[in-house]
């Protein structure tokens, strides 16, 4: 396995894009990433396209080929990838592997999703699973975790709300984010209850969006400059590893542990983190899995402002899923875009000063007791 670097990132603003197709959105992000890299479309050697719901919503398929065609990328291997909320980060994982294994020198991963369409419906972790059929859609499943967390550690809804307040504040500094209005703890608690204790402002909003990254071998990276190294990228699937414990995704812990081992660093070495705040409780549980704070102290850690820009370890400086909005095909790649932007010191008003090491963490397909998919990538300059 050789080193891999990210040399180009591209995103369209997340939010509503009623006039744009998935192909429009994906190809625009791809073009921006290639341009940012100083490369040309014809230099791409393999392409991965991530999308989770276009089959369900539009009845569509083989969209990646169309995305790449639209900007003149052809004659290369193209694979369409789906992995629920980790669809984008799974595409990134495959692109990383293709370069790390020496199969290609230049790979592109693109993710796009149109969520702001009436056909979208309620998210779940698989339409045909028994728990879904019994009503356990995503907010209900995460609310159970939040309730258990509150019971176990005497956490307060105000502490959960603080995650939304922080991520919206970060989001207000990011013109690629879809939800940029500041909110207060009172606003978050007074928002309509979705599933107790999660109010609407504790849930990430659906958004249309697209993001892309270009990954290259060290030789190409040296030529291009402005590159950010990928120390490791991994993908694990869980499977009822720990079905009795609602506040510990075993897969999450195992993935974090493995990622640190492979990268040869620990949580104390991180300067900036993007993580999967699909609901405020997720971000808190992920703090603990990532080792940013001790188990049971995540809610207080958020409330103390430790994860704000300027705090001990800024989390979701982009605004996260709660601030940016969550198009699952694109989210995992957008996280990479944010970490790379931070490590290049190009994040403007939301820059974490001198950030040198960052981590992008994503999770997909919550199931009773565990997650279907967890991806982690660690970056450094």
Residue 110 has which token pair?
Answer: 């693109």
Long-range contacts of 188-196 (CB under 8 A, 24+ apart): 188/161, 188/164, 189/157, 189/158, 189/161, 194/139, 194/143, 195/139, 195/140, 195/142, 195/143, 196/143, 196/147
| Residue 328 beta carbon to a second copy: minimum distance, rounded to whole angstroms | 9
Looking at the Cβ atoms of 5 and 315, the one nearer to a second copy is 5
Alpha-carbon distance of 305 to 162, in angstroms, equals 8
| Residue 336 beta carbon to a second copy: minimum distance, rounded to whole angstroms | 17
Does residue 349 contact residue 201 with C-beta atoms inside 8 Å? Answer: no
Looking at the Cβ atoms of 91 and 315, the one nearer to a second copy is 91
Please say if 374 is a catalytic residue: no
| Residue 126 beta carbon to a second copy: minimum distance, rounded to whole angstroms | 6
What SS3 state is found at 75?
A: coil
Residues within the interface to a second copy (CB under 8 A)? 1, 21-23, 47, 52-56, 58-63, 65-66, 68-69, 73-84, 90, 93-94, 97-98, 100-103, 121, 125-129, 234-241, 251, 254, 364-365, 372-373
Pairing state between β 228-236 and 106-113:
unpaired
| Residue 190 beta carbon to a second copy: minimum distance, rounded to whole angstroms | 34
Burial of residue 229, with CB atoms counted within 10 A of its CB: 0-12 exposed, 13-18 middle, 19 or more buried: middle
Looking at the Cβ atoms of 159 and 251, the one nearer to a second copy is 251
Alpha-carbon distance of 116 to 124, in angstroms, equals 16
Looking at the Cβ atoms of 34 and 313, the one nearer to a second copy is 34
Candidates 85, 256, 293, 374; catalytic one: 85
Q: Which residues are catalytic?
A: 85
């Amino acid at each position: 396995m050789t080193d891999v670097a990210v040399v180009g990132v591209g995103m369209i603003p997340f939010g509503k894009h009623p006039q744009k197709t998935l192909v429009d959105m994906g190809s625009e992000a791809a073009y921006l990433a290639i341009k940012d890299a100083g490369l040309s479309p014809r230099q791409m050697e393999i392409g991965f396209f991530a999308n989770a719901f276009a089959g369900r919503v539009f009845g569509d398929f083989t969209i990646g080929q169309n995305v790449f065609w639209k900007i003149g990328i052809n004659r290369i291997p193209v694979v369409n990838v789906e992995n629920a909320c980790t669809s984008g980060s799974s595409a990134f994982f495959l692109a990383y592997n293709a370069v790390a294994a020496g199969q290609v020198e230049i790979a592109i991963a693109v993710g796009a999703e149109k969520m702001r369409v009436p056909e979208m419906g309620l998210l779940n972790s698989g339409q045909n699973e028994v728990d879904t059929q019994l009503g356990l859609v995503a907010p209900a499943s995460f609310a159970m975790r939040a309730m258990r967390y509150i019971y176990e550690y005497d956490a307060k809804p105000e502490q959960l709300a603080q995650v939304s307040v922080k991520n919206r504040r970060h989001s207000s500094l990011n013109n690629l984010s879809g939800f940029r209005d500041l909110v207060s703890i009172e606003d978050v608690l007074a928002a309509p209850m979705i599933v107790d204790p999660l109010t609407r402002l504790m849930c990430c909003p659906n958004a249309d969006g697209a993001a892309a990254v270009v990954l290259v071998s060290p030789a190409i990276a040296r030529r291009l400059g402005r590159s950010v190294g990928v120390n490791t990228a991994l993908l694990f699937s869980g499977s009822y590893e720990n079905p009795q414990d609602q506040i510990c995704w075993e897969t999450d812990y195992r993935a974090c542990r493995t990622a640190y081992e492979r990268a040869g660093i620990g949580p104390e070495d991180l300067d900036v983190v993007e993580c999967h705040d699909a609901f405020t409780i997720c971000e808190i549980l992920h703090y603990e899995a990532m080792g940013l704070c001790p188990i049971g102290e995540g809610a207080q850690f958020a409330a103390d402002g430790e994860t704000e820009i300027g705090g001990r370890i800024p989390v979701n400086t982009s605004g996260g899923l709660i601030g940016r909005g969550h198009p699952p095909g694109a989210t995992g790649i957008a996280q990479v875009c944010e970490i790379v932007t931070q490590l290049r010191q190009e994040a403007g008003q939301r820059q974490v000063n001198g950030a040198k090491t960052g981590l992008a963490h994503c999770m997909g397909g919550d199931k009773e007791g565990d997650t279907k998919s967890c991806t982690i990538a660690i970056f450094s300059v």
